[in-house]
């Protein structure tokens, strides 16, 4: 691939790319592209109608093209579906279904609602598909690392081994006929931080689609969304991807239509101990923080899949994530490995049309790797 000019390398590596005027679409990850000199004009954003709320401990929004006032009521009702998901999955309310499972499913079989049982089966499928890289039955491991961090240390090897023994979707039994589940380990705890927002987004999006609104965005937090239809005459919605080293800047925008998207990385949530950096995304197979990837963005048919797989790909690493995409052409990814010192970011793009992704300048475009 042609080498970009040294000045472009330095500008992108240090975040000193030219600041272009932009309008925000969404919350953090959805910025419209201004005109970028990449051989084709990047899409820009127009006027929108936006409604906001807070759920699952983060901001949520529904963004629509200007239209009939009825849209506002539909968007408001969509938030009710998000709150229903929160009530079902939260581990911070004693009366949630999942909190009850965490308390009682190790003692005896627990009957769940149909919705929760189907969701758990989706999690089980993704767990198996990723060889355990996605695993929401790791609450004990997550609690261990949080407790150790609060104490200003990292967990001891024996503590990690004990938490791993009490973790894993493989330790959950399912009774399909009765919609029942049973935990085979007394210390097993479910925690859906890596998929819950995606599921809430899909439930909200399904409601909006059922109301025959075809063009909209649903955001959950700063890193997950579903885009339906198009915006401002574009065949999709322009969605900005943050620079994982300098999160106040953007390094690319993709044009997303009728797909979910999620980004995972540890550039914001991390801590240091004895000079070493530890990220918050844990490898459920060994109990340690995952390393080697700076940022992963996954594009999938649903936000649920995108949310779970962005975490799984971060854990799996570049080669395994690309192999997964080889076997799942419906799953796209933009993966940025941790660069060597003094090196430019090198995004690997897989299963996503290159004419629908716009990098900030020629340096990024030249360094892009279309996958293997």
Residues composing the chain = 372
Q: Give the pLDDT score at 251.
A: 87
Q: What does the alpha-carbon distance between residue 200 and residue 80 come to, in Å, rounded to a whole number? A: 10
**Percentages helix, strand, coil for the chain, rounded to the nearest 5?**
35, 25, 40
Q: Give the pLDDT score at 20.
A: 27
Residue 270 confidence class, pLDDT cut points 50, 70, 90? low
Mean pLDDT taken over the chain = 85
Question: pLDDT digit string (tens) for 15-27?
Answer: 222 222 223 333 3
Q: Give the pLDDT score at 125.
A: 98
| Closest of 145, 143, 142, 141 to residue 153, by C-alpha | 145
Domain covering 6-64+220-367, topology = T-fold (3.10.520)
Q: At CB < 8 A and 24+ separation, what contacts does 337-345 make?
A: 337/292, 337/293, 337/294, 338/291, 338/292, 338/293, 338/294, 339/13, 339/294, 342/13, 343/13, 344/4, 344/9, 344/12, 344/13, 345/12, 345/13, 345/243, 345/244, 345/245, 345/251, 345/294
% residues pLDDT > 90 (the chain): 71
Q: What does the alpha-carbon distance between residue 300 and residue 228 come to, in Å, rounded to a whole number? A: 12
Q: Give the pLDDT score at 265.
A: 85
Q: What does the alpha-carbon distance between residue 119 and residue 109 come to, in Å, rounded to a whole number? A: 17
H helices of the chain, in order, are 6-14, 70-89, 97-104, 114-129, 139-150, 157-165, 196-210, 303-316, 318-327, 362-367
Residue 328 confidence class, pLDDT cut points 50, 70, 90? very high
Residue 360 confidence class, pLDDT cut points 50, 70, 90? confident
Name the residue with tokens 């240090």.
14
pTM comes to 0.86
Q: Give the pLDDT score at 363.
A: 35
Q: How are beta strands 49-55 and 259-265 bridged, if at all? A: unpaired
Mean pLDDT lowest for which of 28-37, 95-104, 148-157, 234-243? 28-37
For the chain, the domains span 6-64+220-367, 92-183
What are the angstrom distances between the C-alpha of 241 and each of 29, 166, 335?
Answer: 6, 36, 11
Name the residue with tokens 């890596």.
194
Phi, psi of 304 (to 5 degrees): -60, -50
Whether residue 110 has pLDDT greater than 90: yes
Question: pLDDT digit string (tens) for 336-347?
Answer: 998 877 678 889
| Closest of 246, 249, 216, 252 to residue 231, by C-alpha | 216
Q: Give the pLDDT score at 324.
A: 98
Q: What does the alpha-carbon distance between residue 119 and residue 126 come to, in Å, rounded to a whole number? A: 11
Residue 273 confidence class, pLDDT cut points 50, 70, 90? low
Q: What is the CATH number of domain 92-183?
A: 1.10.3980.10
Whether residue 11 has pLDDT greater than 60: no
Considering only residues 247 and 70, tell me which one the structure prediction assigns the higher pLDDT: 70
Q: Give the pLDDT score at 351.
A: 98
Q: What does the alpha-carbon distance between residue 365 and residue 101 come to, in Å, rounded to a whole number? A: 48
Q: Give the pLDDT score at 6.
A: 31
| Closest of 316, 223, 288 to residue 30, by C-alpha | 223
Q: Give the pLDDT score at 26.
A: 32
Burial class (CB in 10 A: 0-12, 13-18, 19+), 301: middle
Whether residue 114 has pLDDT greater than 90: yes
Q: How are beta strands 293-300 and 332-337 bridged, if at all? A: antiparallel
Whether residue 249 has pLDDT greater than 80: yes
First to last CA, the chain: 15
| Closest of 258, 246, 110 to residue 190, by C-alpha | 110
Whether residue 142 has pLDDT greater than 80: yes
Q: Give the pLDDT score at 292.
A: 84
Q: Give the pLDDT score at 286.
A: 96
Q: What does the alpha-carbon distance between residue 370 and residue 349 come to, in Å, rounded to a whole number? A: 5
């Amino acid at each position: 691939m042609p080498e970009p000019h040294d000045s472009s390398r330095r500008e992108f590596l240090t975040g000193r790319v030219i600041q272009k005027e932009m309008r925000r679409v969404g919350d953090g990850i959805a910025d419209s592209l201004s005109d970028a000199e990449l051989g084709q004009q990047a899409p820009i954003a127009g006027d929108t109608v936006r409604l906001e709320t807070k759920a699952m401990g983060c901001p949520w929004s529904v963004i629509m093209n200007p239209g009939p006032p009825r849209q506002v009521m539909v968007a408001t009702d969509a938030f009710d579906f998000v709150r229903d998901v929160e009530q079902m999955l939260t581990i911070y309310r004693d009366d949630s279904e999942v909190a009850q499972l965490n308390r009682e499913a190790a003692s005896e079989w627990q009957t769940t609602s149909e919705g929760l049982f189907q969701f758990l089966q989706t999690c089980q499928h993704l767990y198996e598909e990723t060889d355990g890289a996605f695993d929401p039955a790791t609450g004990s491991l997550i609690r261990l690392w949080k407790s150790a961090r609060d104490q200003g240390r990292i967990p001891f090897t024996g503590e990690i081994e004990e938490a791993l023994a009490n973790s894993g979707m493989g330790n959950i039994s399912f009774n399909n006929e009765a919609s029942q589940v049973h935990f085979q380990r007394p210390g097993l705890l479910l925690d859906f931080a890596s998929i819950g927002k995606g599921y809430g987004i899909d439930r909200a999006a399904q409601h909006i689609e059922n109301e025959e609104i075809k063009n909209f965005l649903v955001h959950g937090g700063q890193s997950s969304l579903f885009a339906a239809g198009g915006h401002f005459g574009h065949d999709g919605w322009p969605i900005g991807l943050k620079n994982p080293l300098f999160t106040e800047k953007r390094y690319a925008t993709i044009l997303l239509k009728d797909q979910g998207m999620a980004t995972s990385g540890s550039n914001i949530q991390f801590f240091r101990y004895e000079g070493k950096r530890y990220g918050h995304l844990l490898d459920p197979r060994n109990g340690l923080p995952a390393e080697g990837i700076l940022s992963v963005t996954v594009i999938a048919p649903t936000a649920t899949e995108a949310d779970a797989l962005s975490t799984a790909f971060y854990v799996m690493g570049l080669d395994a994530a690309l192999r997964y995409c080889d076997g799942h052409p419906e799953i796209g990814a933009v993966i940025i490995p941790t660069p060597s010192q003094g090196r430019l970011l090198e995004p690997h793009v897989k299963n996503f049309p290159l004419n629908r992704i716009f990098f900030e300048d020629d340096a990024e475009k030249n360094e892009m790797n279309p996958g293997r």
